[in-house]
């Protein structure tokens, strides 16, 4: 990967670390009191995809869409099926009884792909994949057919207006689930254009900026915003899969929060990121953000099952068996420091699983396929 893209590899690694951190109830919480993770990390992933987006009037929409199906939707469905199976197996272990699989119910959950995107609670963050697929495809269609009149500075204003309208509409209405995906597309389109504008216009200009001064200004902006909000957490927003987590009285809040938070962390990476450009750990995390996003709750539950086993032989203080059995989001927090172990399981578990898959399944399979093709070629000659 080109050196200039290393910055965004680090940014994507930071983003997924924030996702896992927020789901361990704030293990590290870096600057989260000023820039709550939920105020920008999902928009930041879309901005990163925009930074690498190169669609134009020459783009073959059919091939582009098939590529996105292959890289986003198929992994989403496969990993969701795996998560459902693991959820059922762990439920059987949790309850110490064979539970009904409820195949019809679980199969129907796949219809949520194009609504909330939430198929199972043990892989709830995967709602992001079909949303990103839809945003990228819609953006590609618009860019191809409007390319001759496309002006990013005008388009971003229109996209920002759509984003603000979605927040306003979602705050005041009970949303029909069939509207969720179109509304999420309108909500996130502005961030894909921001990524492109940053790459083409702002990146070079910001290299000349005083990074410490800009970071201080952004920090001050959010401190003031937090103080003037009715509640300090109003600068953030939850439940984007269903668009139900907007608490600020102002519809423009999510947009401002996202811009300030994303720019802050881009500047942090610009300032101190270079020593990590060739870090194998950072690159492994960055290259597996999809699987960490998808499976970190699964690995939290694997850790819980280990604790449950230990609890059978030696009682763990305050280990809530009933909540553990009923919820995929249970965390044992007898000591707050135990969050670090959940965090490590959530990040390194999926990375390790994919490394094992690549080494023992994918590579041997590809080697076998290549060998068969070579043998077939020799037979023909």
pLDDT tens string for the chain (381 positions)? 444 589 999 999 999 999 999 999 888 998 999 999 999 999 999 999 999 999 999 999 999 999 999 999 999 999 999 999 999 999 999 999 999 999 999 999 999 999 999 999 999 999 999 999 999 999 999 999 999 999 999 999 999 999 999 999 999 999 999 999 999 999 999 999 999 999 999 999 998 899 999 999 999 999 999 999 999 889 999 999 999 999 999 999 999 999 999 999 999 999 999 999 999 999 999 999 999 999 999 999 999 999 999 999 999 999 999 999 999 999 998 888 999 999 999 999 999 999 999 999 988 988 888 777 666 666 665
Asked whether the whole model's pTM tops 0.75, one would answer yes
Nearest to 190 by CA among 217, 219, 214, 167: 167
Task: Identify the pLDDT of residue 376.
Answer: 65
Task: Identify the pLDDT of residue 336.
Answer: 86
Nearest to 187 by CA among 42, 68, 69, 14: 42
Task: Identify the pLDDT of residue 334.
Answer: 87
Task: Identify the pLDDT of residue 335.
Answer: 86
Task: Identify the pLDDT of residue 380.
Answer: 61
Task: Identify the pLDDT of residue 373.
Answer: 67
Region for residue 98 given its phi and psi (left: phi exceeds 0; alpha: psi -120 to 50; beta: otherwise): beta
Angle, helices 128-145 vs 289-313, to 10°: value is 180
Nearest to 93 by CA among 239, 365, 309: 309
Alpha helices in the chain (DSSP H): 3-23, 41-51, 61-68, 74-95, 103-108, 128-145, 152-172, 180-197, 203-207, 211-228, 253-272, 280-287, 289-313, 321-326, 339-357, 363-380
- Measured in degrees and rounded to the nearest 5, phi and psi for residue 237 equal -155, 135
Residue 365, number of CB atoms within 10 A of its CB = 10
C-alpha dist (Å) from residue 22 to 27, 28, 38: 8, 9, 8
Task: Identify the pLDDT of residue 186.
Answer: 99
Region for residue 323 given its phi and psi (left: phi exceeds 0; alpha: psi -120 to 50; beta: otherwise): alpha
Task: Identify the pLDDT of residue 83.
Answer: 97
């Amino acid at each position: 990967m080109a050196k200039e893209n290393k910055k965004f590899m680090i940014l994507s690694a930071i983003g997924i670390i924030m996702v896992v951190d927020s789901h361990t109830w704030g293990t590290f919480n870096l600057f989260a009191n000023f820039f709550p993770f939920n105020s920008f990390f999902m928009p930041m992933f879309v901005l990163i995809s925009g930074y690498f987006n190169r669609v134009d009037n020459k783009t073959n929409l059919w091939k582009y869409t098939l590529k996105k199906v292959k890289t986003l939707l198929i992994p989403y469905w496969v990993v969701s099926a795996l998560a459902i199976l693991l959820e059922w197996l762990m439920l059987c272990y949790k309850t110490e009884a064979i539970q009904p699989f409820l195949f019809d119910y679980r199969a129907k959950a796949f219809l949520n792909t194009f609504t909330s995107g939430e198929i199972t609670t043990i892989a709830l963050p995967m709602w992001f994949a079909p949303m990103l697929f839809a945003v990228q495809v819609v953006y590609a269609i618009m860019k191809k057919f409007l390319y001759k009149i496309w002006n990013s500075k005008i388009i971003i204003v229109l996209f920002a207006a759509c984003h603000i309208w979605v927040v306003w509409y979602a705050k005041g209405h009970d949303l029909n689930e069939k509207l969720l995906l179109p509304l999420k597309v309108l909500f996130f389109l502005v961030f894909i254009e921001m990524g492109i504008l940053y790459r083409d216009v702002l990146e070079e200009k910001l290299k000349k900026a005083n990074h410490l001064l800009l970071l201080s200004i952004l920090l001050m902006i959010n401190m003031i915003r937090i103080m003037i909000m009715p509640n300090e957490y109003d600068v953030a927003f939850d439940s984007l899969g269903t668009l139900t987590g907007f608490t600020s009285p102002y519809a423009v809040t999510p947009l401002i929060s996202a811009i300030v938070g994303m720019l802050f962390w881009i500047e942090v990476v610009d300032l101190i990121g270079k020593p990590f450009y060739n870090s194998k750990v950072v690159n492994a995390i960055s290259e597996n953000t999809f699987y960490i996003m998808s499976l970190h709750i699964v690995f939290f539950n694997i850790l819980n099952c280990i604790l449950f086993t230990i609890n059978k032989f030696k009682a763990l203080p305050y280990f809530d068996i009933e909540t553990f059995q009923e919820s995929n989001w249970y965390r044992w927090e007898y000591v707050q420091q135990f969050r670090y172990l959940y965090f490590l399981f959530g990040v390194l578990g999926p990375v390790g699983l994919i490394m094992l898959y690549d080494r023992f399944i994918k590579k041997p399979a590809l080697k076998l396929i290549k060998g068969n093709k070579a043998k077939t070629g020799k037979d023909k000659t």
